[in-house]
């Protein structure tokens, strides 16, 4: 083979090698990286949700009563914990009386010079408004919101051994709302029972207030330890 022919052969071989490397860089390495990126993006997307029935336990009378609610949740335990608690704090759909936070709220003043409307003939005179704090008694067993509407859900964590850490928050309120022993038990266990009896991964609950675990919420119940559900509070 002449030197000229050998030179042409070498040039063609180099072109093929360079072209092959360019193709691999563009479609092989780059395409694989794009494929990995697409797979990662798909894995990081939002989990699918579906309606699932839960029993939310609200204060009623001297115990707790269930209200069945369908909520859109994923199969992730923390998502179910959050959805259950948000629905619980929002209050029952079948409430029959004002919550403790709104009971006894003042009636807006009448316009200047306005006279009170006369009752219709044969109508029964209305009873005076109940004093503040009498909402639970006024319901006669109806469902009430466990906490005032200003109380919101903060962070939610779930340990490997089934302890749910729930942070209830009320800005500018260092302490939880005051209550008697019965109301405190209802408030705390409405959260504990609603979680532990609806989310199988939860067996105990630790309640935090504004990010801090308290010895007690209102002075009657020990909340310094994880709490197990109490079925004795549930109405038949």
DSSP assignment, residue 225?
Answer: S
Render pLDDT for 101-153 as a digit per residue (tens, 0 to 9).
Answer: 444 444 444 444 444 444 444 444 443 333 333 333 334 359 999 999 999 99
CA–CA separation, 176 vs 174, rounded Å? 7
| Radius of gyration in angstroms for the set of CA atoms belonging to the chain, rounded to a whole number | 31
Helices (H), ranges, the chain: 3-23, 30-43, 77-90, 135-138, 181-196
Q: Tell me the HSE value of 112 on the side-chain side, using a 13 A CA sphere.
A: 0
Judge whether residue 78 has pLDDT over 70: yes
Render pLDDT for 150-201 as a digit per residue (tens, 0 to 9).
Answer: 999 999 999 999 999 999 999 999 999 999 999 999 999 999 999 999 999 9
Give the per-residue pLDDT at 16.
63
Give the per-residue pLDDT at 94.
72
Specify the pTM.
Answer: 0.64
What residues does each domain of the chain span?
Answer: 50-93+135-230
Burial status of residue 177 (CB atoms within 10 A of its CB: 0-12, 13-18, 19 or more): middle
Helix-, strand-, coil-residue percentages of the chain, each rounded to 5: 35, 20, 45
Of 202, 187, 197, 190, whose CA–CA distance to 156 is shortest?
202
Give the per-residue pLDDT at 103.
40
């Amino acid at each position: 083979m002449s030197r000229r022919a050998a030179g042409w052969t070498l040039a063609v071989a180099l072109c093929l090698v360079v072209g092959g490397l360019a193709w691999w860089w563009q479609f092989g390495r780059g395409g694989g990286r794009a494929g990995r990126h697409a797979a990662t993006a798909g894995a990081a997307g939002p989990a699918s949700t579906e309606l699932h029935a839960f029993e939310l336990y609200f204060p009623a009378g001297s115990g707790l009563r269930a209200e069945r609610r369908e909520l859109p949740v994923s199969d992730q335990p923390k998502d179910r914990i959050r959805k259950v608690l948000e629905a619980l704090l929002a209050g029952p759909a079948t409430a029959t009386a004002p919550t403790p936070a709104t009971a006894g709220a003042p009636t807006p003043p009448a316009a200047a010079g306005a006279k009170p409307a006369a009752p219709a003939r044969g109508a029964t005179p209305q009873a005076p408004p109940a004093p503040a704090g009498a909402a639970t008694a006024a319901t006669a067993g109806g469902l009430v919101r466990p906490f005032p509407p200003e109380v919101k859900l903060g962070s939610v964590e779930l340990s490997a051994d089934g302890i749910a850490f729930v942070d209830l928050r009320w800005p500018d309120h260092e302490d939880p709302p005051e209550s008697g022993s019965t109301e405190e038990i209802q408030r705390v266990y409405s959260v504990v029972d609603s979680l532990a009896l609806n989310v199988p991964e939860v067996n105990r609950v630790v309640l935090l207030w504004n990010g801090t675990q308290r010895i007690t919420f209102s002075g009657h119940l020990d909340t310094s330890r994880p709490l197990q559900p109490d079925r004795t509070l549930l109405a038949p």
